[in-house]
Structure 1
Amino acid sequence: MKRSVRLLLPLSLALAAVGVHGADVTVSGFGTLGYALSDTPYSYQRFIDEQGTFDRDSRLALQVDTALSRRWSATAQFKFAPDEDSDSRWAPRLSWGFLSWRPNDDWLLRVGKLRIPMYLGAESMDVGVSFDYARLPIEVYSIAPTLDFTGASVTRSWDVGRGELSVDGYWGKTRSNWRQYARDGVPGYLAAGPVFASIDVVARGLALTYRNDGDQYRIGVHEASSKLADGTNWVDRPVLISPLPGVAYYNLLPGPGMPERRTMDMVIANAAMDVGLGRQVRLGAEYAVRQLKDMDRGVNSSAGYVSLRRRTGAWTPYVYYAWLRSDQDMIDLYHAVNDNRVPAWVPQADLINLSQRATADGLEIHDQQTWAVGSAYALTPSSKLKAEWARTRVGSGSSLVDAPAGSDVRFQSINVFSLSYSFVF
């Protein structure tokens, strides 16, 4: 409750100031009530398992837009959804909160909490009415270390023929939460289950977007530098330690002799399009490549999806294929650590072997692909029903899946059935 009061107080003060000065205020909102069920006992995308869940897709938000003058405006958006640093509670959160200045029709400057202009659905990814899929493909939409930042952005637009070309540049900071999952834990050191780490991220980038008659194209380059908020360093890679002849195990904990660095620096390049093919058929596609700079562990990967959808009256059936795959050397490193065991005669062998699995869990790898078939049905212009069946095939492993204790999810399939109702007001 105290957190809710802290979040709502700035908005209340802003509305009070608006009332005094007589500015034009627009209040809107959106929400989704979504249910997802899989055929596996372990969790996928944090929440989805055979017990079913409303937590994966459900949310409620309120947005206040204030026109302070012809050139100045302010926006605040509050969202109530599953907390970013807990799998067991919901919490209110300030999604957006920024001041905009448009010196003329070609320039837009914004300062405050903003959304990174990376994905096609970046600004509306929480608004279920704005897209036809049950959820935007996680393979692509999980690749950025953060979606929001607090800082500044500049947009320059040009009229090009019948369309509009725009360039977005941004810079800012945020504190994000990095979730990992420990299958077994290490008694006395690490509890089994979800593990959250606070990450301080500095993000900057450029995005070029062209819009024409409902079609949209985007390319971008984005950089992010991440630090662990507790002041500890990142370890570049697990180091193989051999305390006895014929005995070796991997270590990923900071300490003397470990290859460490203060920041994890990555670059993401992306390209996307959503175009009409005629006869109410649309093609959507997004692709992204993520690379770390001079660091041996972790998140080097590529991701993409291709979709087709066709509007037929109130119905919009669709199909898409999506994939996310880490670089092969990252996958090989993961298996080298995950499969490593010390003999039973080694002192504390059980504890060491558990630590190997925990170390593997700390190496974020992805190797999965998804086929999805579904349909949206527009009840009204401001509400949609959606139903979807998706089949995800895991290859060498995936950090989007909470692997069961004592095992892994290598070469397994996950079927997910989703039903949701989305609305705006």
Structure 2
Amino acid sequence: MYKSAIRTLCLGLDILVGLLLTGLLLSSPTAAEDLISPLRLSGFGTLGATYSSEDDLHPLREWGQPDTFQGHWSWRLDSLLGVQANARISSQLDAAVQLVLKERAEQSLDESTEWAYLGWRPNSEATLRVGRLGLDFYLLSDYRNVGYAYLWERPPVEFYGPLLPLNFDGIDAAYRLSVAGGDLIAKVFLGQTTRTIQLQRSVGSDNVELSPLWGGRLSFERGAWRLSAGLAQVTFNGQVGSLTRSGLLPGLENPLVQAFWPQAGDYALDLRYDGKSATFYAIGAAFEDSDWQVSSEIGYLSSEWTPLSDILSAYLSVGRRFGRFTPYAVVSTVRPLEDIDPVVAPSAIGLALSSDLRTLYSATDGFYSALGMDQSTLSLGTRWDFHRNIALKLQWSHSRIRSGDLWATEHSFEAIKDRDVNFISVSLDWMF
């Protein structure tokens, strides 16, 4: 019942935001002038290219992103274009819309709308926003799509890759206090989101509904320092359609398969995630002055969905400015908190008699292995701010993959184990 209430609330908020924005734009000429005069347009973009040393193993920016590579190369992995409009409606009301065009599992206006909200600021300390909002519980919450705003060519995938939703439809509230010479900001949020992801190129895309989605963040800013602690919990609804289309789930539920593989029925139940929740916890710190840029975050993912292991992730980034150049190094890792139990194999007779059973077993093992997410990466790079609001970045990365699903492969639910990959990326990032 509460899931239906959350969906109804979010739908109502979306309609309210749309009606208010439309009404303001279509109201009297005087009102329109009052709105349009403070309208501020801005934009950002990235044009990038990436080379992977392995033509069958391709890096991703985030979990569920489609494979953008052709052989060893991709220019679509990091490339994007964004535009943002901010309007000051009154002394207490403002609105913002942000659209981002990038490689997605589904290209649509809804998927491309990152923000679309109305904000109310009753005083200098409090803020209330409704509509489509950025998910705010980690350091890059406000500018994860804005490459110019951060040091690296791309955010560390071990930490940011498993964080599926970048936004949600709902409401958030924040309160700011002056404490110890800095600003202490507390925020809470509630809503839901539906996003399209692609687990494997060969099995198409899936709509993932997360409802309810809720959480909060406590941050402190003083001078060159930023500290942050946040959490977000999501509840899965429905089922991953690609598990059915690939034949994995129907195969495990087949009585004949279960006759030769008694554990298949248990694995079929495990794969269903409807009603299961996952909770993300994140703490981080960043220091930036005229010379140094240092940041680190630690994350913990706790999951009720059996195939998705509880994981611990972290990164440390250090950069040093030398004029217009900022060389940097990043170490990042993601590890399961417990050893991943191997998938129990079917009977020897079944494996010997049926190639389909061998394929099903391999796919099941690959799916469980992928969601274990166990890898580490060392990245070295430099950023060149050669022009106002334009930066050129070059980054080399070496990843040691023990297992995980932060990579794109050609085959459905293929297990990735004990691989080393090098990849080089270059990008031009700008804001206007």
What is the TM-score of this pair, normalised by structure 2?
A: 0.81
Matches within 5 A, 1:332-371: 332=341, 335-336=342-343, 340=345, 342-343=347-348, 349-363=354-368, 364-371=371-378
The 3-state SS of whatever aligns with 1:365 is coil
The counterpart of 2:217, out of the listed 204, 207, 211, is 207
C-alpha distance in 2, partners of 1:240/1:298? 23
The counterpart of 1:304, out of the listed 310, 314, 327, is 314
Q: CA deviation at 1:28?
A: 0.6
The 3-state SS of whatever aligns with 2:361 is helix
The 3-state SS of whatever aligns with 1:362 is helix
Alignment size in residue pairs = 393
Q: CA deviation at 1:349?
A: 1.2
8 Å contact kept, 1:83–1:91: no
Task: Give the equivalent residue in structure 2 for 1:271.
Answer: 283
Question: Is residue 393 of structure 2 the alignment partner of residue 393 of structure 1?
Answer: no
Matches within 5 A, 1:161-176: 161-176=180-195
C-alpha distance in 2, partners of 1:138/1:150? 25
Q: CA deviation at 1:300?
A: 1.5
More moved, 57-66 vs 142-151: 142-151
More moved, 220-229 vs 70-79: 220-229
C-alpha distance in 2, partners of 1:268/1:177? 20
Q: Which amino acid aligns with 1:60?
A: L
The counterpart of 2:162, out of the listed 143, 154, 171, is 143
C-alpha distance in 2, partners of 1:157/1:240? 57
The 3-state SS of whatever aligns with 2:90 is coil
Which segments of 5 or more consecutive residues in structure 1 lack a partner in the other structure? 1-8, 182-191
8 Å contact kept, 1:39–1:49: no
Deviations 1:242-292 (A, max 9, x none): 97998556347757xx8966312112111001014x781232101110012
Distance 1:288 1:123, change over 3 A: same
Question: Is residue 307 of structure 2 the alignment partner of residue 286 of structure 1?
Answer: no
C-alpha distance in 1, partners of 2:241/2:51? 39
Q: Which amino acid aligns with 2:317?
A: S
8 Å contact kept, 1:158–1:164: yes
Q: Which amino acid aligns with 1:154?
A: A
Q: CA deviation at 1:21?
A: 4.2
Question: Is residue 114 of structure 2 the alignment partner of residue 95 of structure 1?
Answer: yes
Task: Give the equivalent residue in structure 2 for 1:47.
Answer: 68
Task: Give the equivalent residue in structure 1 for 2:87.
Answer: 66
Task: Give the equivalent residue in structure 1 for 2:100.
Answer: 79
8 Å contact kept, 2:42–2:85: yes
More moved, 279-288 vs 239-248: 239-248
Distance 1:319 1:345, change over 3 A: closer
The 3-state SS of whatever aligns with 2:401 is strand
Distance 1:109 1:76, change over 3 A: same
Higher helix share: 2
The 3-state SS of whatever aligns with 2:357 is helix
The 3-state SS of whatever aligns with 1:219 is strand
C-alpha distance in 2, partners of 1:35/1:94? 24
Deviations 1:153-198 (A, max 9, x none): 00000011321110010001110234323xxxxxxxxxx7254321
Task: Give the equivalent residue in structure 2 for 1:37.
Answer: 51
Q: Which amino acid aligns with 1:200?
A: E
Task: Give the equivalent residue in structure 2 for 1:5.
Answer: none
Q: CA deviation at 1:301?
A: 0.9
Distance 1:419 1:251, change over 3 A: farther
Task: Give the equivalent residue in structure 2 for 1:379.
Answer: 386
Question: Is residue 430 of structure 2 the alignment partner of residue 423 of structure 1?
Answer: yes
8 Å contact kept, 1:241–1:250: no
Which segments of 5 or more consecutive residues in structure 2 lack a partner in the other structure? 1-17, 61-66
Matches within 5 A, 1:86-165: 93-165=112-184
Higher strand share: 1
Q: CA deviation at 1:228?
A: 1.9
8 Å contact kept, 2:261–2:350: no
RMSD: 3.4
C-alpha distance in 1, partners of 2:243/2:199? 17
The counterpart of 2:229, out of the listed 196, 207, 219, is 219
The 3-state SS of whatever aligns with 1:375 is strand
What is the TM-score of this pair, normalised by structure 1?
A: 0.83
8 Å contact kept, 2:258–2:264: no
